[in-house]
Amino acid sequence: MIFASSPAQRTFWLGEGALSIDKLTKKYDGRKVCLHGSDAHKLDRVGKPDGDRYTWIKGDATFESLRQACLEPKERAIVGEQPQKGALDYRVIERIIVSDADWMATPEIELAPGLVAIIGARGSGKTALADLIAAGAGAASTNESDQTFLQRARSHLAGSKVELTWADGETSDTELPPNFSFDHDVPRVQYLSQQFVERLCSSEGITDELLAEIERVIFEAHLYEDRLGASSFRELLDLRASHGRDLRRFAQNEMEDLAEQIETERVAGDELPGLKKEQVRLTALLAEDKRARGGLVVVGGEARAQRLEAVNGAVVAKQAEVDALKRRDKSLSDLADAIKDVTDRRLPAIRVELERDYASAGLTTTEWQNFDLRFTGDPASIVEQRLTAVHKATGELVGPGVPKPTKPAHELPPYVADDVELAVVPQQVVNV
């Protein structure tokens, strides 16, 4: 024990100065508690130490408390005008009073300002006292499965009242038994009953109740100025994770698109060997069909048969060209519709979504107009030009309609002369 009161002396003997705790232990047998004695040289200085350096020891006025201060010098003793406070006054309970309760052996109990532990034998009323304090602070458990003291002894509590006195002079009280059906006030304390803790620590795995408690602890561990104005863990999580969630959603959409493309190519690759076999089979059938038709041609009609085969080939080729142009026409028309949809609906929707999701950015309506998305060129005009070109090419390839014949076929001249190149003949004529 050191009779010294200066902050430098206390810092040194607590192992926070020139010597560490290990060195203090080796050289001076551990940390020492610093106390300031009276040492008054005049009667008018009794109880008035210089610099208001009063010695404060946490504990009862007994030698046991002094011994405990020697064991815990930093936690148990301090020299100053007032002892250190562990919390704000409005959060410190000074006293509990249970009135009109003949079953309460000690109706008025004063509590220490620091961390208070309720110690007692089994069945001595530790849980009952904790439940009463929680009820006085408006935090009594409303879960019937908890079976707290207030719930089990409900029939014996009528007419009693619990009152708490706080360090700031305010009081809070509750009529017993408390009404669990509704809750008007916000609880002044967070109460974890024994049954609640046992249920959380059970082997049932993580439950909604346990998850909610974990979230509450995490949220309250954040400084008030770091909560972004949120009032709950979920609200804070949404604020902090919204951007990351958006990026993840975009990435997932891209991955799904890539996966779909990969699957399409994989299926096409798997089908390729079968398609090649089918091509070989059809080619063989076509060759066999040509040979069979060749056997049906009468002598002297070979030239006519060859010309007929060439015309049939031209019909197939013309139809393939027309089909390709029609597919291109359909694709261009769909693209034009997509451009209109993107321009009129999807691009403005992106700006609206940005404005909604980032409303807290504080941008004005005029500033948000700079976020309007648009094409750098005029895609609608390009598509329209291509459609016009496709329609023209289709018309030239198909050609004008052929008038309905008025004579029997054997009396009509050929629509296509034998010496005409079939590639330049319109489809309508070749089909006749």
Do residues 354 and 384 share a domain?
yes
**pTM for the whole structure:** 0.47
Helices and strands (H and E) in the chain: how many: 14, 8
Q: What is the mean pLDDT of residues 246-254?
A: 85
Partners of 162 in the β-ladder: 98, 174
CA 236 to chain centre: 10
Domain boundary among 266, 291, 317: 266
pLDDT value at 339 more than 70 = yes
Residue 180 has what pLDDT? Answer: 59
Cα angle for residues 225, 226, 228 (degrees, 5° grid): 90
Query: Tell me, what's the pLDDT at 206?
Result: 60
Tens of pLDDT, residue by residue over 130-178, are: 999 999 998 887 666 667 788 888 888 888 999 999 989 999 988 888 8
Domain that holds residue 223: 206-266
Last residue of a domain, one of 60, 80, 100: 80
Total residue count of the chain as it appears in this document: 432
Q: Are residues 313 and 390 in the same domain?
A: yes
The verdict on residue 280 lying in a domain is no
CA distance 181 to 372: 53
Q: What is the pLDDT of residues 34-69, one digit of tens each?
A: 888 767 788 888 888 877 888 888 888 899 999 999
Do 240 and 345 sit in the same domain of this protein? no
Q: What is the pLDDT of residues 373-382, one digit of tens each?
A: 999 999 999 9
Angstrom distance (rounded) from CA 75 to CA 138: 31
| 191 and 220 share one domain | no
In the prediction, which pLDDT does 41 show?
81
Is 334 within the bounds of a domain? Answer: yes
DSSP-assigned states of every residue in 204-228: T-S-HHHHHHHHHHHHHHS-GGGST
Structure token pair of residue 350: 């992106």
Strands 108-110 and 93-99: antiparallel
pLDDT for 214: 84
Residues 198 and 313 in one domain: no
pLDDT tens-digit series, residues 273-330: 998 999 999 888 878 877 776 665 555 556 666 666 777 777 778 888 888 999 999 9
What DSSP character marks residue 399? -
DSSP assigned state of 256: H
Structural domain includes residue 292: no
- CA 341 from chain centre, in angstroms, equals 31
Domain count, the chain: 4
Query: For 343-356, what is each residue's pLDDT tens digit?
Result: 999 899 999 988 88
d(CA 220, CA 217): 5
287 assigned to some structural domain: no
Whether the Cβ atoms of residue 337 and residue 388 lie closer than 8 Å to each other: no
| Residue 177: cis peptide before it, omega within 30 degrees of 0 | yes
Structural domain ending residue among the three candidates 187, 202, 217: 202
d(CA 66, CA 54): 15
pLDDT of residue 342: 92
